[in-house]
Amino acid sequence: MNQPNHSLQLATATQMLQWRVAVLTSYAASGVAFATWVSRLPAIRDGLDLTPGGIGLLLMCMTVASFISISASGLIVLRLGPKLTSWIGSCMVGAGLVTVGVGASIAANPIVVATGLVVLGLGTASWNTASNVEGAAMERALGRHVMPHLHGAFSLGTVAAAGFGAWAAAVHLAVFWHFLIAGVVVTGSVVAAGFFFRAEKTAAPARAHRSEETDTFQDPSTGPLPIITPGSAETGAAAAPLDNKRLVALAWRDRRTLLIGVLVLGLALAEGAAGDWVALALADGYGQSDAAGAVGYGLFVTFMTIGRFAGTAILDRFGRVVVMRWCSATAVVGLALFVFSPVPWLAFVALAVWGLGASLGFPVGMSAAADDPVHAAARVSVVSTIGYGAFLCGPPLLGLLAEHFGILHSLLAPLVMLVVSFFLAPLAGQTTGKSMQPNEAR
């Protein structure tokens, strides 16, 4: 069996800058796609005359599709590579947005909307895993924390899209035209950015050793096995797909990886619940207008963005463990205050606190999963699957709870998982390779 060439390809300063801008663009476009349809949920609900339970069932269509996609994302990224996966995923997201727009504004048909959400979910989940694999590779190449900035770009995309969504709701712009514009922007930007991705060009060969997890040898004279690099092609017998499946299976049996996934799950659920239900909770629970609901969600993502762009300095100063504990505790305070606020203005303050608490869960979790470059793609896919599963599955289930307890009180459910995340925070500490900061063990 011929071994592919895994020689380390050093990047120039210009190429590194282009790579970083490209990955930031991909993350920002994902945020635009997410906030676009979330910010117009009240308009979609009113146009289709849906109850909270109906909205929950509609979101479940996207959830099921996303969960199928995210479950297979590890194999998809290992087989196709982050670049091609991002291209295909973003094109599907653009098509899904347009389909949702047609169903909401032109056809006024929940089945068409559900179909669009299925396409949106299938594209988003694998694209997000590809972005995390690409971002983790860039973080390792730079040798310092950049994941918070990348997820901050996602948040900037949500802020911009939420602001545009608030304006669109205020002027009663048809959902179709809104989603058509967003779909073109999302797909076009990611396709252009993908040409500068470098994860598949910067995989350094590992030293020779016997791996207890894979029970295989890695020979420095030939480089590591094809399964190590996402998207690597094999010129000999078609053994790579089998190896990739085994690599992902091993990641699902790794205790630390699974517990990091649970850690991310709590904070992801808090973030996802805000994304899907804040606008409706402000409208139904506090008597605010649809435009005010979009502004409230924009406030949440604005403070989440602030937390993410401040995250690099905070992580360098305090380390992952302290930061994850702080995030979990702050999210609990913000979420509880939002639910029990006696006046609307205090609920908006609570959204700012909630946003800060939810800001670093995903980026720190992705960095922790990618500590070992040999297993980074597989382990990132596992943590992504668990985290995005909560992010996507939780909010629709909250819709079913809202039928019985109201939207506001249904938001108390994520508090339990946030407490679990608080106690799992020590697992985020660096375990392999050179630490990125002196306080990582805290």
Examine residue 228 and state whether it is found in any structural domain, yes or no: no
For the cut 90, the answer to whether the pLDDT of residue 26 exceeds it is: yes
Mean pLDDT of 43-72: 81
**Of residues 268 and 259, more confidently modeled:** 259
Position 117 scores a pLDDT of: 92
Examine residue 127 and state whether it is found in any structural domain, yes or no: yes
The backbone torsions φ and ψ at residue 160, rounded to the nearest 5 degrees and listed phi first, read -60, -45
41 confidence band (pLDDT: 50, 70, 90) = confident
Beta-carbon contacts of 405 under 8 Å, excluding residues fewer than 6 positions away, are: none
Examine residue 282 and state whether it is found in any structural domain, yes or no: yes
Examine residue 2 and state whether it is found in any structural domain, yes or no: no
CB atoms closer than 10 angstroms to residue 412? 15
Q: Are 70 and 383 in contact (CB under 8 A)?
A: no
Beta-carbon contacts of 80 under 8 Å, excluding residues fewer than 6 positions away, are: 88, 231
For the cut 80, the answer to whether the pLDDT of residue 430 exceeds it is: no
Domain that holds residue 348: 13-204+247-428
Tell me, what CATH number does 359's domain have? Answer: 1.20.1250.20
The backbone torsions φ and ψ at residue 284, rounded to the nearest 5 degrees and listed phi first, read -90, -40
Q: Are 102 and 37 in contact (CB under 8 A)?
A: no
∠ Cα 124 308 386 (to 5°): 40
Examine residue 392 and state whether it is found in any structural domain, yes or no: yes
For the cut 60, the answer to whether the pLDDT of residue 11 exceeds it is: yes
Closest CA to 290 of 442, 156, 167, 435: 167
25 confidence band (pLDDT: 50, 70, 90) = very high
For the cut 60, the answer to whether the pLDDT of residue 285 exceeds it is: yes
Task: Round to whole Å and give the CA distance between 380 and 369.
Answer: 5
Mean pLDDT of 19-42: 90
- Give the torsion sign (CA, 394, 399, 401, 407): positive
Compute the half-sphere exposure of residue 61: CA atoms within 13 Å on the CB side of its CA.
18
Pick from 94-103, 212-221, 240-249: least confident: 212-221
Pick from 12-26, 68-82, 384-398: least confident: 384-398
Examine residue 212 and state whether it is found in any structural domain, yes or no: no
Examine residue 33 and state whether it is found in any structural domain, yes or no: yes
Pick from 224-228, 290-294, 316-320, 418-422: least confident: 224-228
Name the average pLDDT for the chain: 79
Which runs of consecutive H residues, i.e. helices, occur in 195-289? 240-252, 255-285
Position 81 scores a pLDDT of: 87
Do you know the residue count of the chain? 442
What are 43-57's pLDDT values in tens digits? 888 888 887 777 878
Examine residue 218 and state whether it is found in any structural domain, yes or no: no
Q: What is the CA radius of gyration of the chain?
A: 21
Closest CA to 377 of 259, 244, 256: 244
pTM exceeds 0.75, yes or no: no
**How many distinct structural domains can be found in the chain?**
1
